[in-house]
Amino acid sequence: MSQTINEFEPDRLELDLENPRFGLTDADGEPEALRILATRANLRELWDSINQRGFERYEPLVAFLRPDGKYVVVEGNRRLAAVKTMLDPALLEGIRITPPPLDPAIKDTVKTLPVIVVAKREDADDYIGFKHINGPATWGALAKAKFGVKLFATTQIEPGTTDTRIQTLSKRLGDSRQLILRSLVAYKIFEQAKAAGMLDEKMVSDNSLDFSHLYTIIQSPAARAYLGLTEAPLNEALIKDNPIPADHLDQLGHLTSWLFGSEVNGPVIKSQGTDRPKLAKILASRHATETLEQTRDFDRAADEAGFKTDSWLNSVIQLATIAKNVSNGVADLPADMDPDNVERAQERLTSTQRSVVAAQSQLKSLFS
């Protein structure tokens, strides 16, 4: 990428309507793109910075020239949006976000902006990928996936290697092959669900859907089977339009509703750490899955999938571990231990022993 820095007036620079920050939302033009960035990308911190120190020139924007003489900025859209809206606050009419007045002493710093010009959009891909995938200004998961899908489509296999396209892309972005693969497959599934009207349009437009739920759940073989994909590990062939077979669109509708909610119902997933593993186990049980499809009762479906049993067995294991530690610890007690504490310990141990004997008796009567 050329390091020659040019100076252009902000009016000659256009926002990139393909900016990955837009996620699944399509910006119809620059006015809408400005409103999206003002709503989602926290321009306020940039407005404050510009008013305090002027436009920071140490990191130029990156742009390519369109036939109409305008330059499309492929790196630095957020900074460009901050400048444009401070120069003309009317650009944000219709939303409740208003830029602060531009300090007159700072105005000269935004008359022109530093820009590196590349011949075409793709010439900046490696730089953008490094900066926003694993670099100092990382995007959210959905923006990363959108950029990755675009880059995957243009990635060429390195000559003289046995690498696949996803392995080559992994080297370019500095991320693991498996993480990139499931992120890109999940993005194509996300696009398919949006096109089929399965996602809440308001949540799509304000980018409030937690994309990580989807790319995490498809690690589960049961989830992949539920969607009509192979239970085998994900592969490059699934990075395509409409990866979910037509005869599994109902299942895709159920899954997106459970993960993200709908215009009628909220999501059943509340916590990535606890609920997502439960959903994966539910999907491995036909009866539990049917219960969730028919009732949306997540706790009942989890019980049918065996979580109540698992919880009970975990309690038994914990009890056995604690009991062993208590038994081994008796020998280390001081000889002059307070008699009241000894009596209290005896009472608790006797009570615990009765509970254990009662549990053993019930297990024997129920399952013998």
CA 19 to chain CA mean position, Å: 17
* Predicted local distance difference test score (pLDDT) of residue 111: 94
* Predicted local distance difference test score (pLDDT) of residue 356: 85
* Predicted local distance difference test score (pLDDT) of residue 310: 61
Tell me the H-state helices in the chain: 30-40, 43-53, 77-87, 125-129, 141-154, 165-173, 177-195, 201-205, 212-217, 221-226, 249-260, 275-283, 286-295, 298-304, 307-329, 339-367
d(CA 309, CA 290): 19
133 and 173 in contact (C-beta within 8 Å)?
Answer: yes
61 and 116 in contact (C-beta within 8 Å)?
Answer: yes
* Predicted local distance difference test score (pLDDT) of residue 189: 95
Considering only CA atoms, which of 307, 249, 272, 219 is closest in space to residue 297? 307
Token digits of residue 75: 């790196």
- What residues have CB less than 8 Å from 85, skipping those under 6 apart? 34, 38, 43, 47, 91, 92, 99
* Predicted local distance difference test score (pLDDT) of residue 360: 83
Considering only CA atoms, which of 139, 183, 184 is closest in space to residue 37? 139
Point out the residues of the chain with pLDDT beneath 70. Answer: 1-2, 24, 26, 130-138, 174, 205-207, 308-314, 363, 365-368
* Predicted local distance difference test score (pLDDT) of residue 133: 64
259 and 214 in contact (C-beta within 8 Å)?
Answer: yes
Hunting for tokens 């479906």 — which residue is that?
Answer: 301
Which amino acid type is present at position 133? Answer: I
36 and 94 in contact (C-beta within 8 Å)?
Answer: no
Considering only CA atoms, which of 29, 2, 17, 22 is closest in space to residue 115? 2
* Predicted local distance difference test score (pLDDT) of residue 148: 85
Strand 113-118 to 71-75 pairing:
unpaired
